[in-house]
Amino acid sequence: MNPRALRLLFLVGALVLGSSLVRASLKLPAFGHMQSPYGDAANVIAVQERQTTDAVTAVIFDIRGFDTQHEEFILFGAVGAVLLLLRPSEEDERELPEKEEREPGPPRSALLRMSARLYLPVCFIAGLELITHGQLTPGGGFQGGVAVASAFVTVLLLVGLGPYEKLVPSTPAELIESLGAGGYAVLGLAALAFGMTFLTNVLPLGHAGSLLSAGNSFLLDLVVGMAVAGGLVLIVGIYARQLLRVRKKEER
Amino acid sequence: MIALQTSLFLVVAVLGTMVVLVRDPLHQAIVIGLFGLSLAALFTALEAPDVALSEIVVGGLVAPLVVLFALAKLRSLER
């Protein structure tokens, strides 16, 4: 097809789609005046029945906890796929034994290393706060897990791959990630032990606003945080090791 | 409040257009990070802090990181 015909085809399609979009957005409720019975119901149920002050966490982990399990397993599968695709091939193992830890380039300055030493605990604790207070304040397992992982990724960027791998070697990271992913299923199965349906709340609900409230959501937050943090740490580690391998190959 | 939301909408629109108009992938990775941050600010102004936190971690950390790693790998493959 020549370019002119393609352009004409695009214009026709864009006109049809554009006019439908404009007509649809004109019929939406006014900005700021949402009509959402589900949202109103969730707001009431979250605080009074589920004892959660963060309605989003109540919906994610309590009312629709089953969907979050699917999301977590998607993340788990994606991390596994990346690890599978980027694992060292036999040719790499023969040419560059993993024991050669010297990285190319000059050593990092003292300022960078000191900044990393100061930043790591602060960011780690902030991430833990996001994870454990998921049912009280905005945050939750996913956001807190990525914050915890970003603390270690910053160490990687500021100091280098050697200290990063000493800090989070791949075996404990894989263990934590698998515990996170499996823990979600185990918590769901715990409800079966009590004769209720999968993922029903088994822990006492407590009072809204205290740390140990919202029953299952607290443990599910921890478990999702572990899975996300472990997964992200693994992905970034394997990317960085790939880059190191490629750069070392260039040096020869 | 309305002024804040409107101005943030405009910033998001401008940065989104810039993401498309920047052609070099390396520069685009950085602009994507900035776009994610502005989107997070917009979500905070619209009173959705959980979404804003998720947008910060994904758009500000994961997306530029993955793009930069892929670019570095491609560039070393070219040589």
Give chain A's mean pLDDT.
85
Residue A250 forms contact with B (CB below 8 Å): yes
CB pairs under 8 A between A and B: 44
User: Between B61, B66, B73, which is nearest A246 by CB?
Assistant: B73
User: Given a cut of 80, is residue A100 above it in pLDDT?
Assistant: no
Total Cβ atoms within 10 A of residue A172: 11
Q: What is the pLDDT of residue A103?
A: 62
Q: What is the pLDDT of residue A16?
A: 96
Cα separation of B44 and B60, whole Å?
15
Q: What is the pLDDT of residue A163?
A: 84
H-state helical runs in chain B = 2-21, 25-45, 49-55, 63-78
Task: Judge whether A150 and A236 are in contact, CB under 8 Å.
Answer: no
Q: What is the pLDDT of residue A105?
A: 61
B53:A232 CB<8 A: no
* Residue A247 DSSP SS3: helix
CA distance A243 to chain B (A): 6
Residue A247 forms contact with B (CB below 8 Å): yes
User: Given a cut of 60, is residue A101 above it in pLDDT?
Assistant: no
- pLDDT category at A63 given cuts 50, 70, 90 is confident
C-alpha distance from residue B16 to each of A18, A246, B63 (Å):
19, 33, 15
Task: Kindly report, residue by residue over B14-58, the tens digit of the pLDDT.
Answer: 999 999 999 999 999 999 999 999 999 999 999 889 999 999 988
- pLDDT category at A249 given cuts 50, 70, 90 is confident
User: Given a cut of 90, is residue A246 above it in pLDDT?
Assistant: no
Mean pLDDT over residues B64-73, rounded? Answer: 85
- Least confident window among A24-38, A43-57, A195-209: A195-209
Q: Which of residues 139-178 of A touch B (CB under 8 A)?
A: 139-140, 142-143, 146-147, 150, 153
Any residues with CB less than 8 A from the CB of B44 and at least 6 apart, and which? B52
Residues in chain A: 252
Residue to test with chain B: of A31, A150, A245, A247, most B Cβ within 10 A: A150
User: Given a cut of 80, is residue B79 above it in pLDDT?
Assistant: no
Q: What is the pLDDT of residue A188?
A: 86
Return the residue matching tokens 């906890």.
A65
The pTM score is 0.84
H-state helical runs in chain A = 3-26, 37-48, 55-57, 65-85, 90-95, 110-132, 141-159, 161-167, 170-193, 216-251
Annotate A152-187 with three-state secondary structure: HHHHHHHHCHHHHHHHCCHHHHHHHHHHHHHHHHHH
Residue B73 forms contact with A (CB below 8 Å): yes
Give the amino acid at A235.
I
